[in-house]
């Protein structure tokens, strides 16, 4: 009788489990049946918010459901990312992650409440925005090699402005220092705007700004643009060399963005989302809007994007440790 009872329990467990997984599979196949929320872990108006809103309308049209952008800013993107990580893994809460939130913060914040690899499922990389190494014309350099040489002979004497500790502008400079083995002085400002004003006015001689903010000043002669931070020349600014091409081998820094779901989300759902997101960022009208804002589509499918996120986390961990970067 005991053996019979064990067999009965096993039979019941297998059938109930089968029904459960069959129900999950059916839900994934019919996804989505309600509105989708995309969390933006920053305030409205920036590159992350722009990208979320750019893809939300065509994605909603394709799926026949509303796609809502939900701005949850705070703590360098930590608050919104944490909210996404703790959400149900059903495909109805997603987050736009960035170089900062999903590669660097893991090293900058030792007590981070979530793990980038364990608590998220990367879906697709969407776009990236290369920075521009720009200097005030009063600084006696004409190239990246000149700047590396000057930084090496005058360690701790040349300041650079950033949009704040842990931001992409700070990261770009930290990587430059790390590879050039030169020491510059970080001057953080409360945002990219004030940092750029400081360099244009000559208060600080150097910065790593965005293409949209630096280009008008470079064209007018108020700034000298030396190179872009990407690994390849930018389609937006093809005349500028890359920092690696201009003399600092191995340099590459992109403020990339990608779509993430909470860990445990069905592969059927994440593939649906990823395929649609990649289709959208390749649309001519979307490419045009990215380019107008100094950015470029850089789509990667789920498996490639997962490997990329892992490699970015490892790379920036080395930079954070080597340079002693702090979040505040």
Q: pLDDT in tens for each of the 328 residues of the chain?
A: 555 555 666 555 556 445 444 445 566 779 999 999 999 998 888 889 999 999 999 999 999 999 999 999 888 788 999 999 999 999 999 999 999 899 998 888 888 889 999 999 999 999 998 899 999 999 999 999 999 999 989 988 999 998 887 778 888 999 999 999 988 999 988 878 889 999 999 999 999 988 878 888 998 999 999 999 998 888 777 899 999 999 899 999 988 999 999 999 999 999 999 999 999 999 999 999 998 888 899 999 999 999 999 999 999 999 888 878 777 6
| Helix, strand, or coil (residue 117) | coil
| Spatial CB neighbours of 46, under 8 Å, sequence gap ≥ 6 | none
We find that the CATH architecture of domain 130-228 is: 3-Layer(aba) Sandwich (3.40)
CB 73 within 8 A of CB 43: yes
Q: At what angle do helices 267-281 and 2-30 cross, to 10 degrees?
A: 10
Residues of the chain with CATH 3.40.190.150: 28-128+255-323
Q: How far is residue 259's CA from residue 91's CA, in Å, rounded to a whole number?
A: 11
Residues of the chain with CATH 3.40.190.10: 130-228
Q: Is 1 exposed, middle or buried (0-12, 13-18, 19+ CB in 10 A)?
A: exposed
Q: How far is residue 246's CA from residue 227's CA, in Å, rounded to a whole number?
A: 7
| Helix, strand, or coil (residue 157) | coil
pLDDT in tens, 250-272: 999 988 999 999 999 999 999 99
Q: How far is residue 221's CA from residue 138's CA, in Å, rounded to a whole number?
A: 11
pTM: 0.81
End-to-end distance of the chain based on CA atoms, in angstroms?
Answer: 67
Structure tokens at 138: 């009063």
The CA–CA distances, whole Å, from 283 to 125, 156, 169, 279 equal 15, 46, 29, 7
- Residue 252 half-sphere exposure, CB side, CA atoms within 13 Å? 10
CATH number of 28-128+255-323: 3.40.190.150
Beta strand pairing call for 93-98 and 67-71: unpaired
- CA 127 to the chain's CA centroid: 9
């Amino acid at each position: 009788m005991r053996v019979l009872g064990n067999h009965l329990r096993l039979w019941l467990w297998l059938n109930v489990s089968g029904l459960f997984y069959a129900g999950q599979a059916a839900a994934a196949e019919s996804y989505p049946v309600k509105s989708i929320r995309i969390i933006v872990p920053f305030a409205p108006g920036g590159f992350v918010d722009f990208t979320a809103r750019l893809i939300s309308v065509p994605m909603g049209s394709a799926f026949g459901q509303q796609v809502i952008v939900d701005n949850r800013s705070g703590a360098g993107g930590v608050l919104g990312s944490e909210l996404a990580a703790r959400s149900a893994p059903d495909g109805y809460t997603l987050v736009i992650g960035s170089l900062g939130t999903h590669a660097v913060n893991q090293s900058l914040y030792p007590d981070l409440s979530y793990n980038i690899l364990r608590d998220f499922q990367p879906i697709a990389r969407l776009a990236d925005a290369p920075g521009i190494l720009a200097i005030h014309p009063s600084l006696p350099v004409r190239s990246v090699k000149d700047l590396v040489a000057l930084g090496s002979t005058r360690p701790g004497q040349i300041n650079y402005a950033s949009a704040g500790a842990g931001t992409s502008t700070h990261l770009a400079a930290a990587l430059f220092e790390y590879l050039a083995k030169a020491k510059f002085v970080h001057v953080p400002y409360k945002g990219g705007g004030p940092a750029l004003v400081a360099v244009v006015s000559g208060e600080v001689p150097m910065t790593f700004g965005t293409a949209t903010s630096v280009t008008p000043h470079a064209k007018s002669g108020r700034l000298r643009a030396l190179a872009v931070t990407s690994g390849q020349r930018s389609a937006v600014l093809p005349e500028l060399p890359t920092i690696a091409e201009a003399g600092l081998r191995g340099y590459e820094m992109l403020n990339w963005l990608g779509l993430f779901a909470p860990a445990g989300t069905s592969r059927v759902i994440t593939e649906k989302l990823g395929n649609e997101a990649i289709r959208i960022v390749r649309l001519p009208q979307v490419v045009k809007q990215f380019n107008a804002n100094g950015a470029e589509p850089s789509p990667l499918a789920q498996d490639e994007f997962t490997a990329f996120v892992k490699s970015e986390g490892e790379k920036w961990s080395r930079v954070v440790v080597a340079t002693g970067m702090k979040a505040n």
